[in-house]
Structure 1
Amino acid sequence: MIHMQNPKQLYLLDPWSSISPKRRNMLDAGWPGLFRENILPSIPADKFAKFFDEYMGRSTKELYSMLGALILQQACNLTDEETVQQYCFNMQWHYALNIVEESDNAKYVSTKTLWNNRNIIIQNGLEDIIFSSGTAKLAEAFNVNTDKQRLDSVHIKSNMRRLGRIGIFSEAIHKFLANLKRQYPAFFDKADKHIVEKYFTKSAMGCFSMVKPSESQKTLSEVSKDLFNLFAQFRHIDEVSALYSFKLLERVLNEQCNLTDDTDNPVEIKKPKEVASDSLQNPSDPDASYSGHKGQGYQVQIMETYSPCDDPKDKQLRLITHVKVEKACQSDANALLPAIESAEVNGFAPKEVIADSLYGSDDNLQKAETQGVELVAPVMGAPKEDKLSLCDFDISDDGRILACPQGHPPVAV
């Protein structure tokens, strides 16, 4: 059953009258009041509610407060356990989330409920609309000027263990065998006993972490053959080949090996430089990729508003208008136009975007102009000794050229 209460609903009696006036003013003037008045009502709880039955089943947590708690969890960078503590006992959270009752049904939430609700959001792609709704409300409340924005990427690491090539092979085999035994025990009993003894138990898997550097190439060759033999044994069995863990097995084989016609040596390990940067880094996180500059993980494109004024009194709220998680191997050069288009769709279209040199190709410059956006980005590479750069010109504080390197003023600007 759906439990959803409009945050703008008025009360006959003030449920917060027990709070002293000074503390109430602190709540209203601080982030709890801001969240309660602007963010909470903007949450699209109706789009979330359709994933529950209106009449059948156990009643949900109040949906506005539940989704609001998930937003606060991310904003405060809290674990699920820490979020439960704040939801149960923190008066600021209760005020921000409009929780006025003292019952466990109102002020208690379990970690499982947090996980389940967050999983619904992720699986159904609701995070973008929740983000854009809250951002639009803040932009309206603070009268944010979105004409000037800046774009950059940041590398984030996945919560996974860093694996070498031997570790990737062995983990993929172990994951497949464990899944095979759970889903199809009869097929598991037919698997190569030598491979099962070598990879199935965690104690056996520990041997691969103690491989000496001098033996790594030999071990890599052995595990690649074991993976190929396992793949060859089950690839024609429809039930098994449909398993996600089997597809990971096949992915590792295609990314790390070349198949040969030699029956004694059917697989040949690719050289490290031949392995693509978007190859599997760990079976536990198959979407993570590799960046030669930043390592394993992901990158996030972030665009935000900014104010060029140095006067603190005139500074505006800096508002994030676009967020996109990408593979770490993707180039920043392809991120500019999607960021501009995304911001425009959400009503935050910029007129000027500042970005690093990787975003500043001629193609991006021209395409941005067609969108009515001026791209400001440094030119790639350092100037040659026999060439002039802007550093050789006399430039005013506001960026206007006053004179050329020989001291002559410009005819036109």
Structure 2
Amino acid sequence: MILQQLHDLSDVATVEAYAFNQMWHYALNVHHEADAYICERTLRQYRRWIIERGLDRELFRALADEWIRAFKVDTRQQRLDSTAIRSCMRTLTRLGIVTETLGKFIREVSRRYPHYRDWIHADPRERYVQGSAQDGSCRVSPSEARISLEQAGHDLLNWVVLFASTEAKDLASYRIMLRVLDEQFSVVSSAEAPVRLEVKSPDLIPSDGVQNPADPDASFNTRYGQGYGLQVMETYQVDDGAEDAAERPASGPDLITYVDVHKLTQQDQYALQPALDEVTQRDVAP
């Protein structure tokens, strides 16, 4: 997976490189032809496990600490800065977010619990699965968009209530439906109507709300767009003014000691203390 990111490869190209690239065999200690195979599904499965169990963080810390010791890196001086990571997802309208969320839930519940498929009538099932957000938001005029958003909101509310007492409530797509319902709509009650759905004003939509159900953890920033914030801390050496390189004291390479990914809505002032706490715990603090 590190080589995949390093060379910017797709899953298909990664599997092919693992099978046929001798440089990969050398790097990964593959000596026998029978071992030079991995299927795409296995690659995706291990990636999911690594992310869910936080193994990527553990691997980074272990490798960084080992390199610091091996290269005798001076960690007394370090600097911290942030940047943005753009999420590779399609930008959706509010209507698109709702319809994509409904389509995602229909597909997941149909795959995991096919006996619930008949609970959803054929018309909305086709509307949200066949065309999904692209058709749902592009086939309406601006004056009709609010009506369509309200209709999609009612479907969203109905499905949230309908599946609340079933095992489908534990699906990731159902939890996304709950978030989108809370972020995009207000559910109010009155004497005239027990339950009424109202579309929220755009200024009430949170910046860390769901931007696309395909990447529900991404957030929005007016400067950077949709994605994530990234904090990086590294060691560095100060030029001591010596003109002759031979007179300078020997020092190891500069290494990244800390990385953290967070919401784009988080300000940098809150990033320093967690960074110091972690590197102090690992005994590589500045």
TM bucket, shorter chain:
0.7 to 0.9
Taking CA–CA contacts closer than 8 Å with sequence separation of 6 or more, which of the two structures ends up with the larger relative contact order? 2
Specify the alignment match of 1:212 in structure 2: 141
Contact 1:306 1:316 in 2 (8 A): no
After TM superposition, give the deviation of residue 97 of structure 1 in Å. 3.4
Q: Deviations over 1:332-352 (max 9, x none)?
A: 1111011111112223201xx
The partner residue of 1:258 within 154, 169, 186 is 186
Q: Which 5+ residue runs of structure 1 have no aligned equivalent?
A: 1-69, 351-413
Specify the alignment match of 2:69 in structure 1: 140
After TM superposition, give the deviation of residue 243 of structure 1 in Å. 3.2
Q: 1:289 to 1:230 in 2, by over 3 A?
A: same
Contact 2:75 2:285 in 1 (8 A): yes
**Does residue 1:268 correspond to 2:204, yes or no?**
no
The partner residue of 2:4 within 73, 76, 84 is 73
Identity of aligned residues (%): 38
Using the size of structure 1 for normalisation, the TM-score is: 0.60
Q: Which 5+ residue runs of structure 2 have no aligned equivalent?
A: none
Q: 1:107 to 1:242 in 2, by over 3 A?
A: closer
Specify the alignment match of 1:200 in structure 2: 129
**Does residue 1:281 correspond to 2:217, yes or no?**
no
Alignment of 1:364-375 (within 5 A): none
Contact 2:92 2:212 in 1 (8 A): yes
After TM superposition, give the deviation of residue 155 of structure 1 in Å. 0.9
After TM superposition, give the deviation of residue 143 of structure 1 in Å. 1.9
Contact 1:156 1:298 in 2 (8 A): yes
| SS of residue paired to 1:321 | strand
Q: 1:107 to 1:173 in 2, by over 3 A?
A: closer
| SS of residue paired to 2:213 | coil
After TM superposition, give the deviation of residue 111 of structure 1 in Å. 3.5
| SS of residue paired to 2:231 | strand
Contact 1:304 1:321 in 2 (8 A): yes
Kindly tell me the number of residue pairs found equivalent between the two proteins: 278
| SS of residue paired to 2:275 | helix
After TM superposition, give the deviation of residue 275 of structure 1 in Å. 1.3
Shifted more, 179-188 versus 292-301: the winner is: 179-188
Q: 1:204 to 1:172 in 2, by over 3 A?
A: closer
After TM superposition, give the deviation of residue 322 of structure 1 in Å. 0.2
Alignment of 1:12-411 (within 5 A): 70-99=1-30, 101=31, 103-202=32-131, 206-235=135-164, 237-261=165-189, 263=193, 266-309=196-239, 313=245, 316-350=252-286
Q: Which has the higher helix share?
A: 2
Q: 1:318 to 1:244 in 2, by over 3 A?
A: same
| SS of residue paired to 1:348 | coil
Contact 1:197 1:204 in 2 (8 A): no
After TM superposition, give the deviation of residue 305 of structure 1 in Å. 0.9
| SS of residue paired to 1:268 | strand
Q: 1:170 to 1:204 in 2, by over 3 A?
A: closer
Cα distance in 2 between the residues matched to 1:271 and 1:325: 30
Q: Which of these two proteins has the greater Rg computed from alpha carbons? A: 1
Contact 1:192 1:230 in 2 (8 A): no
Cα distance in 2 between the residues matched to 1:93 and 1:312: 40
